[in-house]
Amino acid sequence: MRRWPSPSYTGTVIDTVSMRRSRDLPDDEDADVDFHERLAALELAVVSDRLGIPELATTAERRRSEWEHDATHVREAAVAVDATGRDVGAWVVDVPVRDNLDTADVQVLDPPLSAVTDSEADDLHAALLADALATVRRHGRHVVFTHEVLKEVVGESLPPHVLEPVAGGPADADLRFAVVWDLPAGSAIPARSGSGAVSRSDRSVRRMTAAGFVPVQLERFSVLDLIDSGGTGDPHPSLRSVSWVDDAPVEWAAQLADLYSVFEATVPTGGASFDPEVWDVARLRAVEATARAAGVVRVVSAVAEGPRLLAFTVFEQTPGSPLVFQEHTVVRPEVRGLGLAAAVKRANAAHLRAVSPDAVTVCTWNAVENPAMIAVNTAAGFRPWAFTVLWELRLDR
């Protein structure tokens, strides 16, 4: 583990930082490993601070592997180092190269720092963001997305079931957000999705709006403690559940790729300026290979009617980690509202327990304007933990 130098630091952080950029790294493995470890340490500090679940942070090994194997994105990052040699922040830019050729995703990593005032931290965040945007421009992209964790959610802007805790309710200490009500006029900015609003009293909102970003979509981050929820059974006499780990069996690959396209075309995006990805078997195989190379296990269940898949859901887990990520769930539009999402999720939870004794907690993100998915998840026992917001910025051409 890399140690940060001792805190002899007293200057204004922004005046002293220098940037170490991935694109300037020497072509040698040690430098690459060191860079990714520093990035991972910064992300760990940020995720622990904002979400309180360190396992959510991307490990250095996983990020290195994704950068090397995922041919659908080009990635760059930079670590900001202060005069004492301390790593004080970073940014990561993801540029899609297969679809959405005018967009880029930016992640700013600004961990809590000792001996730095709030306004210095704001300046550092702004400097990191500006540096990341320069890279976005260099790639010729004009639409920028970034996710931030909210400290406050505006109560009356959300459908009531989104805030609803399950029976017993989460302990207050677990919640990473405060619900604010009755804000003065002009203090809340509605998300473009039409569901949810952000509050100008939230520090991250002030930072992002100052940089020209607009809030597009709020997402609820929720967690589920895995318990045995009982039998699964087939969802209907003419349907059957099928499950696998990692790569889809050959007979299901084309159907699974098609379901990914259905997901992309029908998941709520809040009106964000990106196009649905179109999947084929080659793309599916590339995603499966990237996961395998990064040591990520994919635990998949689907509902089949004859040779056709009607629904699927996937968990991702790094073996040994207690944390499991609930990734895509989709049901074909013509059979929605019949309980298939709930059935396929139950089947996959049982499959997960059978294949992964390490799994303890599942986490998921849901758009707040997706009542069906939130209803299914609430019934399964997920409880709200935090809220994030997707921000969008349009850069001048």
Ligand X SMILES: CC(C)(COP(=O)(O)OP(=O)(O)OC[C@H]1O[C@@H](n2cnc3c(N)ncnc32)[C@H](O)[C@@H]1OP(=O)(O)O)[C@@H](O)C(=O)NCCC(=O)NCCS
Which residues contribute to the site for ligand X (CB under 6 A)?
A: 263, 266-267, 329-331, 336-342, 366, 370-373, 375-376, 379
- Asked whether 315 and 326 are in contact (CB, 8 A), the reply is yes
Choose between 236 and 292: whose C-beta lies nearer to ligand X.
236
Nearest Cα neighbor of 26 from 37, 34, 18 is 34
Which single residue is written with the structure tokens 């991935």? 22
Choose between 87 and 264: whose C-beta lies nearer to ligand X.
264
Choose between 77 and 311: whose C-beta lies nearer to ligand X.
311
Query: Cβ of residue 167: shortest distance to ligand X, in angstroms?
Result: 15
361-367 and 214-225 as β-strands: parallel, antiparallel, unpaired?
antiparallel
Nearby residues of 138 by Cβ (< 8 Å), 6 or more positions away: none
- Alpha carbon distances (Å) from 316 to 226, 241, 243, 319: 14, 19, 14, 10
Beta bridge partners of 20: 79
Choose between 22 and 366: whose C-beta lies nearer to ligand X.
366
Distance separating alpha carbons of residues 138 and 329, to the nearest angstrom: 35
Query: Cβ of residue 308: shortest distance to ligand X, in angstroms?
Result: 15
Query: Cβ of residue 48: shortest distance to ligand X, in angstroms?
Result: 25
Choose between 284 and 303: whose C-beta lies nearer to ligand X.
303
Choose between 41 and 341: whose C-beta lies nearer to ligand X.
341
Query: Cβ of residue 338: shortest distance to ligand X, in angstroms?
Result: 5
Torsion of CA 225, 227, 233, 236, to 10 degrees: -30
Nearest Cα neighbor of 113 from 124, 105, 102 is 124
The 8-class DSSP code of residue 126 comes to H
Distance separating alpha carbons of residues 328 and 181, to the nearest angstrom: 32
Choose between 36 and 346: whose C-beta lies nearer to ligand X.
346
Which single residue is written with the structure tokens 């051409």? 397
Torsion of CA 351, 357, 361, 364, to 10 degrees: -40
The 8-class DSSP code of residue 395 comes to -
